[in-house]
Every structure is written in C-alpha cells, then in structure tokens.
Amino acid sequence: MSLIKSISGIRGTIGGKPGDGLSPLDIVRFVSAYATFIKKGRKKAKVVVGRDARISGTMVRNVVVGTLQGMGVDVVDIDLATTPTTEIAVTAEKADGGIILTASHNPLQWNALKLLNKDGEFLSAKDGQEVLAMAAADAFEYADVEELGSVEFKNYTEYHINKVLDLKLVDVEAIKKADFCVAIDTVNSVGGIVLPELLAALGVRRFKYLNTEATGRFAHNPEPIPQNLTDISSLMAKGGIDVGFVVDPDVDRLAIICEDGSMFNEEYTIVAVADYVLENTVGNTVTNLSSSRALRDVTEAKGGKYTAAAVGEVNVVTEMKRVGAVIGGEGNGGVIYPESHYGRDALVGIALFLSHLAHKKMKVSELKKTYPEYFISKNRIDLSPAVDVDAVLVKVKEKYAQEKVTDIDGVKIDFKESWVHLRKSNTEPIIRVYSEAHSMAEAEKLAKDVMAVVEELSRK
C-alpha cells in the first residue's frame, strides 16, 4: 500500500491500515487540517468538492464532505466533474477553496485529495507545508452542533463548456464549417460526460467514442501516452476520422492522435495550441524544464519570449504570472490558458486545437510537420541509499559549467541542439533523466553519456 504526502495534495492506494494507504482515517485527518487552514480563525468557510469517476470516488467523497461539515465548512458538491471544472467552480462560487478527488493518471486503486486555494489554483509550497504540519500535529477542532456545515449540490459542466465557448479564439463557426469527424477516448471517467457535450457545442456532428461510460473501471492504463492508446490509434488508422483526442481520468491532460493513427506526441499539444494563440496574441510562454524545446522555438519565431519553470503546475502558473505569459503548460499534454483560468484544461485545449486546425485547413499529421522536430528520452539512475544525491548534482553542475546550466529544479544542461534534465526523487535514491535532441538516437546517446558521468561522480 502507498500513501504519498506532498504540498500538492495527498494520494494513496485505497485499503489497508491507516497510514499505509489513503484510508478513511487519513482522509479525515488531512481534510480537517485543510479546513482549518482555509478557515484561518473564521467560523465559516465554503469549499467546492468535485471528483473523477474512479470506483473509490463515492466513498472518498462521503468522507470528505462529512469531514468538512464537521469542521463547520459549507460544501458545494459538484460530484462528477473534471479537475478544471472544479477549479472554475471555486471562483464562480466565490468559495474559499476546493478539493478535487482524483489520482489523475494513476490506476484505479489510487485516489487523492488535490487542494485548491480561493483562486481555484493549487496551494503554494508554503501553504501546502502548513496543511501537512497541521495534519501531522492533529492541529484542528471540530465545530459545535449548531455550527456544522451545509451541503449544496450543483452541476458545473454546462457552465464550464459555456466558458470555453466564450473564449475569443474559439472559432465555433470555423469548426462547424470544417465538418470534422472526431474520435475520443475518455478512459471510462468524467471525460465521457463532458467531452461529447463540448464537441456538440463546438459544432462537431461526426464522432467516434471509445470508453466514454463513466464507470471508473479504466479500459486501459489511464495515462495518455502512446503505449496505452493502441485502441484509438487502430481506429484512426482505418481512415475516415480527422483527429483523435484522449484525456486522463480528470481531464486536465490532452493527447492528440493524427488522422493516420500516429501520435501527434503529447509534448506537442501545448506547442500546437500555443502556435495558434501566438498567431493571434503577441506574448510570452512558459512550460517546465522537462518539456520540449519546440515551444521555445515557436515562441521566439512569433516574437515572444519563452521561460522555463520548475516542474509542477503551481510552479508553471507562478512563472506565467510573473512574465505575463499568454499561454503555457506542461509537456504532458497540459494546456494552461489564462484567458480562461490558471489551470491545465483539456476542454480549452480541444477547442483551441480544433479552431487552429480549421483555420490551417490541413491534416493533423501535416500540421505536426510544421513544427521543429524533437525527441525526448526518459531514463532513471538507481543509486545506493548511501549516496548523497544533492552532492552528486552539485558535482554535475560543476562538470558542465561551460554549458548553460539551470538549477531551480535539479540540474538542466542546455547544449546547442539538445538538453538533459536531472531531477532527484523525493522518496527514493533515484535521479530521473530526461534528454531531448533532434532524433531519438541522439537523445538516448546524450542520456547515456550524462548518466555515465553521474554514476562516476557518485562513486567519488
């Protein structure tokens, strides 16, 4: 069993002893701490609760809502809802925070509490640490009977879709005119509820649906990466479909499939969407250090400035606000469009991509070829528990001092035509190694060379 406590939330497997997984007792403790943090001495506060469709969702929701009530917090329960829908609902309700019940791309035995602030954004590192400290110390008190919280049930799906349609760069008429045939795979979660409604609202009349029944029993590994998308890829390869969209269980990540069944590549979701935004809006972009250099190339070609942030959505959002980015996100298929809200949103990604495709009047595979070609290799180095990983990374930084080195999150070394990013695990003696170059062979060689250097330095 696993229970992982971090500033971005609490996730774990369902079942087992308290402390070994995400048990009801663990849920009560962390929700109680979060409620205390949100209230900050006030008698009342309001929190939005939404969940994906995984099979533990009802149980977790009942414990979360009951605990919030017990803490004197009023709850707006939007039940089955995407992560971005819940984020948007927090601000629409003028709530003090939100809790999203989703383990994102993790398998069905996992669930999680993702904690939001009053802006519908993930807690900062400082705030997250405060909640964890409160939970560890049981630093909370429950409300008296006359001060228990209330529960109100609402549905925010239509509100979210209308908010997407209202974006000035979402061109519904162009999408209707293009008469796309669209395939979707929503991996048996909340995407199966919202994406058919979104596509209909965008004027898509021809579609193919895979795994849209929101049972929570995922038809395949729910992470939207190539090895898990063979069914929709095979469907696309038969012809007659213009584009395929795949989302993860909470619908904040978007993968795109070309008309011939090939992968558009999740790293290029943000690249294509940003290309469309930058064609219509002059400005800057941000992704994290482990995302493709292709966005930098596209941004600079359009006259903007690209900035890399530390890995993690909250870090990307913070940097986007600092540089006034008009679009940003993560290379895992996460699109963050401030015109809508500061959160990864696959609905926004789909609407902007279809608008882009309609204006370009080309096949998805042809659009992909218009972007700089890069390949990312992902590896890891397993070290002895006795190794001081931080000290090793300092040595790596010194070794490559003649190159451009960024150390805001591990060590990233930028070469002229490639890069490698080394990040340590917070839970294991592991260094994760991401490398990118113009071919997979080059990316893998770069990773191999740098990993050999790291292993040598770890022995000194």
**CA 13/CA 4 separation, integer angstroms:** 9
- Assess contact for 15 and 108: CB atoms under 8 A: no
Beta strands in 366-446, from DSSP E residues, in sequence order: 375-382, 404-406, 411-414, 419-424, 430-437
Using CB atoms within 10 Å of the CB of residue 40, give its burial: 0 to 12 exposed, 13 to 18 middle, 19+ buried. exposed
Q: Give the amino acid at 183.
A: A
Supply the DSSP string of 263-299, one letter for each residue: B--THHHHHHHHHHHHHHS--EEEEETTS-THHHHHH
Active site residue 104: yes
**CA 130/CA 132 separation, integer angstroms:** 5
**CA 347/CA 196 separation, integer angstroms:** 11
Beta strands in 291-418, from DSSP E residues, in sequence order: 306-309, 325-330, 334-336, 375-382, 404-406, 411-414
- Assess contact for 335 and 348: CB atoms under 8 A: yes
Q: First CA to last CA across the chain, in angstroms?
A: 36
| Partner residues linked to 404 by β-bridges | 414
- Assess contact for 253 and 247: CB atoms under 8 A: yes
**CA 240/CA 258 separation, integer angstroms:** 11
Cα–Cα distances in angstroms (integers) from residue 51 to residues 216, 259, 376, in the given order: 11, 32, 32
Region of 216 (left: φ > 0; alpha: ψ -120 to 50; beta: rest) is left
- CB-CB neighbours of 398 under 10 Å: 10
104, 189, 435, 458: which is the annotated catalytic residue? 104
| Strands of 375-382's sheet in order across | 375-382, 430-437, 419-424, 411-414, 404-406
CB proximity list for 2: less than 8 A, separation 6 or greater: 12, 13, 20, 21, 110
> What amino acid positions are annotated as catalytic residues?
104
